[in-house]
Amino acid sequence: MAKYDYDLFVIGGGSGGVRAARVAASLGKRVGIAEEYRFGGTCVIRGCVPKKLYVYASQFPEHFEDAAGYGWSVPPARFDWRRLVANKDREIARLEGLYRKGVEGAGGEAFATRAVLIDAHTIRLEGENRTITADQILIATGGRPNPHAALPGHEHCIFSNEAFDLPELPKAIVIAGGGYIAVEFANIFHGLGVQTTLTYRGKEILGRFDMDVRRALHKTMEEKGIRILCHEIFTAIDKRSDGRLDAHLQGGEVLTVDQVMLALGRIPNTEDLGLEAAGVERGRTGEIIVDDFSRTNVANIWAIGDVTNRVQLTPVAIHEAMCFVETAFKNNPTRPDHDCVPTAVFSQPEIGTVGLSEDDAAKRFAKLEIYRASFRPMRYTLSGRQEKMLMKLVVDAETRRVVGAHVLGPDAGEMAQLLGISLKARLTKDDFDRTMAVHPTAAEELVTMYKPSYLVVNGERVE
């Protein structure tokens, strides 16, 4: 008779938890997984997937406009928000089913309930009204939007969770934040015809990205009609008698809008999980502290994904899950590799990026060659759209290694995936130069920039 009910019990059915449960079960382990809301987690249910569907929806007005230059007459278009929400719900329900089925198909047991640790090997399944025991426990409970409770009137605000399912499309919205979520949703709402304002506390949106890309995106978003207020924060949100909201800004302006959305970062879901009872340590922001192998201070308890607040990205959580299975069940200790993670911001235009920004690279390397091209993509020639595409390679002059690649423009996310391979393989600018261009594409610029646009020597730009 086995000592525990399960070899592995996973708390949290998002991308990381489900992957770990499925792969461990397929190895023949006795696996259980509990999810209190919906299998699929943030990414599938109220994050990446619905977001991308809404990005597509919001791009149609520009496609209709661009069609004219290619000879098409498009009759005035109408948009039905509720139909979009309903179609999104159908697709999400389909994916949710696949996630659950994936675990069960591999032999795992899925529970639709909250799970709470009682001690290091015991878990209470609240909805089932029983306790189970497990040899290894994996916590993958993810995160949630920072509620920003210090803001007077924060209770009137929405977050990305609610933005997907608003009963009506607002006429006007103001979004606070300058990160991925704020920027992506500003573009989505604007594209759907909502009067959109973005407020950001810092100097320029998208803090961790290359400054050229940040500035160029800011300019293009403003040209499209999105109002962006930097160095600005809300001081209070008031509900008016007509049901609309007054957002008071530090600078004195009051914006009257239908919705105020806060996208001010995300915090780990670690409350009321029984972490204290099990002796699991948390850090300053509530995140579960783990070692290089995703193990907590309690030897049989592990944590992966956003709850550990390392890199808050779905593919990273999945990678951490795979490494966890290698370490815990295949006798092959494997550290997740968080270096050189490619990423995309599904703004409009899109950002695709991997490696170091020019500013960060300048702190690490004495001499950089910067290759930079800004041009109007071919698809905009007949449409007359003036938007420019930007491509930039940051090269360590000494080794010739490409240490950063940044793209702003259509399909930049797709390009970032492939650039990610090149940079992970530590390819040099000479490898890029040796690669034949694919013509006519926008991406060919990445292998045809022969001369540096400028150098950066000891942190100083040299023309």
Angle, CA of 217, 222 and 228, to the nearest 5°: 90
Structure tokens at 174: 């103001």
Instruction: Lay out the sheet containing 389-396: strands in order across.
Output: 343-345, 351-355, 402-408, 389-396, 367-375, 454-457, 460-462
Instruction: Give the list of residues 6+ apart from residue 235 with CB closer than 8 angstroms, or none.
Output: 152, 248, 249, 250
Which of 280, 313 has the CB closer to ligand NDP?
Answer: 313
How many residues of this chain bind ligand NDP (CB under 6 A)?
A: 22
For residues 70 and 46, the answer to whether their CB atoms sit within 8 Å is no
Cβ at position 386, least distance to ligand NDP in Å: 25
Which of 233, 277 has the CB closer to ligand NDP?
Answer: 233
Closest by CA position to 144, among listed 311, 261, 270: 270
CB-count exposure of residue 23 (10 Å: 0-12, 13-18, 19+) = buried
Cβ at position 157, least distance to ligand NDP in Å: 13
DSSP 122-156: EEEEGGGTEEEEEEEEEE---EEE---TTSTTGGG
Closest by CA position to 220, among listed 387, 415, 389, 334: 387
**Binding status of residue 313 toward ligand NDP by CB under 6 A:** yes
State which of residues 53, 233, 298, 340 lies at the interface with ligand NDP (CB under 6 A).
233
State which of residues 88, 214, 266, 319 lies at the interface with ligand NDP (CB under 6 A).
266
DSSP 278-302: HT--B-TTSPBP--TTSB-SSTTEE
**Binding status of residue 265 toward ligand NDP by CB under 6 A:** yes
**Binding status of residue 325 toward ligand NDP by CB under 6 A:** no
**Binding status of residue 180 toward ligand NDP by CB under 6 A:** yes
Which of 156, 367 has the CB closer to ligand NDP?
Answer: 156
Is 156 known to be catalytic?
Answer: no
Q: Which stretch binds ligand NDP (CB under 6 A): 190-198, 199-207, 219-227, 325-333?
A: 199-207
**Binding status of residue 177 toward ligand NDP by CB under 6 A:** yes
Neighbours of 286 (CB within 10 A): 15
Write the single-letter amino acid at 320.
E
Buried b (16+ CB within 10 A) or exposed e, 183-212: bbbbbbbbbbebbbbbbbbeebbbeebbeb
**Binding status of residue 44 toward ligand NDP by CB under 6 A:** no
CA distances from 147 to 139, 229, 267 (A): 22, 21, 9
Cβ at position 243, least distance to ligand NDP in Å: 26
Residue 4 and residue 91: Cα distance in Å, rounded? Answer: 37
Cβ at position 345, least distance to ligand NDP in Å: 5
**Binding status of residue 315 toward ligand NDP by CB under 6 A:** no
Q: Which stretch binds ligand NDP (CB under 6 A): 57-65, 162-170, 262-270, 281-289?
A: 262-270
Which of 177, 452 has the CB closer to ligand NDP?
Answer: 177
State which of residues 14, 32, 179, 420 lies at the interface with ligand NDP (CB under 6 A).
179
CB-count exposure of residue 367 (10 Å: 0-12, 13-18, 19+) = middle
- Cα dihedral sign for 220, 221, 226, 229? negative
Cβ at position 197, least distance to ligand NDP in Å: 15
**Binding status of residue 197 toward ligand NDP by CB under 6 A:** no
Q: Which stretch binds ligand NDP (CB under 6 A): 31-39, 200-208, 288-296, 430-438?
A: 200-208
Closest by CA position to 391, among listed 339, 447, 317, 436: 447
Which of 328, 423 has the CB closer to ligand NDP?
Answer: 423
Catalytic residue among 121, 218, 248, 439: 439
The interface with ligand NDP within residues 327-386 (CB under 6 A) comprises: 343-346
Which of 14, 177 has the CB closer to ligand NDP?
Answer: 177
Which of 202, 279 has the CB closer to ligand NDP?
Answer: 202
Q: Which stretch binds ligand NDP (CB under 6 A): 55-63, 67-75, 176-184, 375-383?
A: 176-184
**Binding status of residue 178 toward ligand NDP by CB under 6 A:** yes
Q: Tell me how far apart the 2 most distant CA atoms of the chain are, in Å.
A: 74
The binding site for ligand NDP (CB under 6 A) comprises 177-182, 184, 200-202, 207, 233, 263-266, 312-313, 343-346
Q: Active-site residues: which are they?
A: 439
